[in-house]
Structure 1
Amino acid sequence: MDGDVSGGFGAASLNLAIKPAVKSCYPALNFNKPSKLPADNSAWWCDSRDEFAFMGFSYEVTACQSLSQLRKDFKDIRTRFRGRYVRLYGACDTQGFYDDIITAAYENTLGVHALIWFGFNGDNVWMGRRDALFNTLLTNPTAPFVTRVVQFGSEPLFDNVLTPSELTAQVKAAESRLKSVRIPVTVSELAYGYQERGGAQNVLDAIDSINIHMLPFFSQNASTADQAWPLVLQDLDWFIAHGKGKKMYFDENGWPSVTSPGVQPNSPVAVADVANEQAYYELLDAHCEDLKQVVHGGIGWFAHIYSDDMEPGYGIYDTNGHLKFPFHPRTYC
């Protein structure tokens, strides 16, 4: 049986509620796919209160991978690493690409955290991506059984793409548009992205779950990954204090093995190497029970990112397709 503990790590008291054993549900590791999809997804998904520990990978799609490549990678995520989800990163604007994502994900019993990618050019291309994604979600019959959430991102507040009021309006409009297929909506963002906009409480109030960028390497107090737990708690406790009990995920979450022009520390003693990339995920595993105690069933976390081919330094695989370090994270505690 699982314990559902409400409150932050700094809470004076914890309220423990015992729940019954979890039944088979999508995309649990024990899920058996039916021969035919049900009429709707209202009883399809696992309860988010039962989702914690390692969830899967951020997976960049800028390369517009072929269906065969998606099938290969998604099978690897499910069978080798026991992943339950992929969280999309970047954008592929090829027509029908998200249909291929749906096909490969369902074949491999994976859920998808879909993403409306704003990019870094300050243009309105994201609007077309939004509309194309929504069209697929409303017309592909398998989409509601694979797409767990739609994210606006990545870091739209931190990058000043939209004001908090504009982003809130987009979230609410998306929730209304996707209500018929029961797909929730969130924003993929740093704690600092909210904080530098006065907390952006209107955005936090609008979203259905809180999808957090947890990148402690960039803290001004960063050193080595094994010392990063206080940095994780600092951001996490802020979200607990302002999130009003909503489910939380670490979606863009990791520690780089190398620096690059776009990945530079803000601390002179922050160390980027393979040993520290590994140590960060081992830190999360070591605190599995602590993370499970967070409000709404605990923190589910993703590894950012699947391969160095996607984003140098953050991959679990290097550019030659070899594991950079042993990676077998806990999916339960």
Structure 2
Amino acid sequence: MPSSPPGSLDNWWCSADTEYAFLGFSYEVTACQSASQLQKEFADIRNRFNSRYVRLYGACDKQGFYDDVVNAAWDNGLGVHALIWFGFDGGNQWETRRDSLISSLHSNPKAKFVTRVVQFGSEPLFDDVLPHSQLASQVTSAKQKLADVGVPVTVSELAYGYQERGGAQDVLNAIDSINIHMLPFFSSQATTGSAAWPLVETDMNWFIAHGNGKKMYFDENGWPSVTSSGVEPNSAHADASVNNEQGYFTLLDSHCEDLKKAPGGGIGWFAHIYSDDQEPGYGIYNDNGQTKFTFAPRTHC
């Protein structure tokens, strides 16, 4: 990063066609990590794993928290996929989160230089948080409010979330990029992580067919090492294990060239999630702070 924010976003971000392989981690923030912890873990994300981005998951409603995220990202050369978290309990707290994030993006001079995209999520269509027409309107409104700081807007969602709403083409038309939940473990046809490519390809091809050539990311993307409440398979043959978690990411690595060929500059993917203490079973790190397996995914091919 430069010593201070530049005067313009012109030529700031790398071309979308360089973002087609491993990009970084989903990172759960419900714990409201301290500024020092964010700095430490963002440095690890950047330096140990060659990540380019952190995709936020969950919500911390502590005042000034997103400024801490921005500072940690800036100091460690990372971009952020920010998130307006709806949660799972209904209510309208997401509106306050939306307004707070938009305010931070205007008030923090570094924010627009690390915030690659703002996401509405997680899975608002699948969870039936809003009718798809209202969600599309929310995206359009946020885009207008963020146009002056140049931050695009999307929705973080499953293919099935769109499909069960008749395709929700109005949402696909409104969003700037397509941020996809790729969780093949939950497919009724799931078996092992290393055999999941047909499931990945099916959802990927659906978005290609309906996405009008927009840039795509697999943002909530992984295979669990254990089952837990809310992480239960829909296939008797789906196997949650460390070997299958590793096998899934190895599979994505082996299809780097296929992801690179996708419209919009290729598909970049995140590992969900940084650590098991953020979401059990999905972490690259276990609860003891040790990596569960060797994780050194390709960042280009």
Question: Contact conserved, 1:317 with 1:323, CA < 8 A, in 2?
Answer: yes
For residue 70 of structure 2, what is the aligned residue in structure 1? Answer: 102
Report the alpha carbon displacement of residue 40 of structure 1 after superposing the two structures with TM.
1.7
The code of the aligned residue for 1:185 comes to V
Gap regions ≥5 residues in structure 1: 1-32
Task: Give percent identity, aligned residues only.
Answer: 69
User: 2:172 matched to 1:186?
Assistant: no
User: 2:90 matched to 1:122?
Assistant: yes
2:248 to 280, 303, 310: 280
5 Å-filtered alignment, 1:41-56, equals 41-56=9-24
User: 2:287 matched to 1:323?
Assistant: no
Secondary structure of 1:115's aligned partner: strand
2:128 to 156, 160, 177: 160
Report the alpha carbon displacement of residue 226 of structure 1 after superposing the two structures with TM.
1.1
State the distance in 2 between where 1:311 and 1:239 align: 27
Any idea what the Cα deviations from partners look like across 1:220-254, whole Å, max 9, x if unmatched?
A: 00001111000000000000000000000000000
The code of the aligned residue for 2:137 comes to A
After superposing on structure 2, the runs of 4+ consecutive aligned residues of structure 1 that deviate more than 4 Å are none
Secondary structure of 2:161's aligned partner: helix
For residue 141 of structure 2, what is the aligned residue in structure 1? Answer: 173
For residue 14 of structure 1, what is the aligned residue in structure 2? Answer: none
The code of the aligned residue for 2:293 comes to F
5 Å-filtered alignment, 1:190-201, equals 190-201=158-169
Secondary structure of 2:224's aligned partner: coil
1:113 to 81, 92, 98: 81
5 Å-filtered alignment, 1:234-273, equals 234-273=202-241
State the distance in 2 between where 1:260 and 1:213 align: 19
Secondary structure of 1:178's aligned partner: helix
State the distance in 1 between where 2:93 and 2:132 align: 19
5 Å-filtered alignment, 1:292-307, equals 292-307=260-275
For residue 278 of structure 2, what is the aligned residue in structure 1? Answer: 310
Report the alpha carbon displacement of residue 34 of structure 1 after superposing the two structures with TM.
2.3
Secondary structure of 2:45's aligned partner: helix
State the distance in 1 between where 2:136 and 2:67 align: 27
Question: Contact conserved, 1:49 with 1:298, CA < 8 A, in 2?
Answer: yes
Report the alpha carbon displacement of residue 202 of structure 1 after superposing the two structures with TM.
0.2
For residue 8 of structure 1, what is the aligned residue in structure 2? Answer: none
Question: Contact conserved, 1:42 with 1:182, CA < 8 A, in 2?
Answer: no
Question: Contact conserved, 2:35 with 2:69, CA < 8 A, in 1?
Answer: yes
Any idea what the Cα deviations from partners look like across 1:131-177, whole Å, max 9, x if unmatched?
A: 01110001100000010000000000000000110000000000000
Secondary structure of 2:30's aligned partner: coil
Secondary structure of 1:99's aligned partner: helix
Question: Contact conserved, 1:215 with 1:252, CA < 8 A, in 2?
Answer: yes
Superposition RMSD on alpha carbons, in Å? Answer: 0.6
For residue 103 of structure 2, what is the aligned residue in structure 1? Answer: 135
Any idea what the Cα deviations from partners look like across 1:199-224, whole Å, max 9, x if unmatched?
A: 00000000000000000000000001
2:4 to 33, 36, 39: 36
State the distance in 1 between where 2:127 and 2:5 align: 40
2:38 to 55, 70, 75: 70
Question: Contact conserved, 1:67 with 1:101, CA < 8 A, in 2?
Answer: yes
State the distance in 1 between where 2:4 and 2:68 align: 19
Question: Contact conserved, 1:248 with 1:298, CA < 8 A, in 2?
Answer: yes
Report the alpha carbon displacement of residue 49 of structure 1 after superposing the two structures with TM.
1.9
State the distance in 1 between where 2:185 and 2:21 align: 20
The code of the aligned residue for 1:101 comes to V
TM-score (norm 1): 0.90
Report the alpha carbon displacement of residue 50 of structure 1 after superposing the two structures with TM.
1.6
TM-score (norm 2): 0.99
Report the alpha carbon displacement of residue 37 of structure 1 after superposing the two structures with TM.
2.2
State the distance in 2 between where 1:121 and 1:331 align: 37
The code of the aligned residue for 1:187 comes to V
For residue 226 of structure 1, what is the aligned residue in structure 2? Answer: 194
Quick check: which one's helix share is greater? 2
1:144 to 103, 112, 118: 112
Question: Contact conserved, 2:30 with 2:60, CA < 8 A, in 1?
Answer: yes
Gap regions ≥5 residues in structure 2: none
State the distance in 2 between where 1:124 and 1:34 align: 38
State the distance in 2 between where 1:295 and 1:133 align: 30
Question: Contact conserved, 2:5 with 2:109, CA < 8 A, in 1?
Answer: no
Which structure is larger by alpha-carbon Rg, 1 or 2? 1
